């Protein structure tokens, strides 16, 4: 089995979003994301078929959350996450990231052709810059 060596930057740098919409004041980001064909994480994950690991998807959500100003405080953790379908190179998904029911929570959902690929809720510290 090959060793996986990812750095933090690879986990948090998300691909560019297309067709971006940021609704204010509700704080809901939507857009289209195309999975790059050459992500370093594909080397060895897995040999038969390249799959975007769940931790990378979480990293993308964290990066997009900061990039579009949906949170400014430190990331505290994952409340829950479900990975229902695999994401492969060149896949295209719709992304929805928005405020959760509780202050500091961010909900996310990746969908592809009307099916949920992954979803979850992350927690960020509020009132800290």
- pLDDT, tens digit, for every residue of 53-110? 999 999 999 999 999 999 999 999 999 999 999 999 999 999 999 998 899 999 999 9
For the chain, give every domain's residue range.
8-124
Give the pLDDT score at 129.
54
Instruction: Return the DSSP state at 89.
Output: T
Dihedrals φ, ψ of 13, to 5°?
Answer: -70, 115
Is residue 86 within 8 A of residue 57, CB to CB? The reply is no
Strand, coil or helix: what is 2?
Answer: coil
Q: What kind of fold does domain 8-124 have according to CATH? A: Thiol Ester Dehydrase; Chain A (3.10.129)
Whole-number Å distance between alpha carbons of 58 and 35? 14
The three-state (H, E, C) secondary structure of 56-83, written as one string: HHHHHHHHHHHHCCCCCCCEEEEEEEEE
Global pTM value: 0.85
């Amino acid at each position: 089995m090959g060793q996986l060596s990812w750095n933090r930057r690879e986990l948090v740098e998300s691909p560019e979003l297309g067709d971006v919409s940021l609704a204010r004041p509700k704080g809901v980001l939507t857009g289209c994301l195309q999975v790059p064909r050459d992500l370093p994480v594909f080397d060895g994950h897995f040999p038969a078929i390249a799959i975007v690991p769940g931790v990378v998807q979480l990293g993308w959500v964290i990066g997009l959350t900061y990039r579009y100003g949906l949170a400014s405080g430190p990331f505290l953790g994952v409340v829950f996450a479900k990975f229902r379908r695999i994401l492969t190179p060149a896949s295209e998904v719709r992304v929805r990231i928005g405020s959760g029911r509780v202050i500091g929570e961010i909900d996310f959902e990746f969908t592809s052709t009307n099916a949920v690929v992954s979803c979850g809720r992350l927690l960020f510290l509020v009132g800290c810059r």
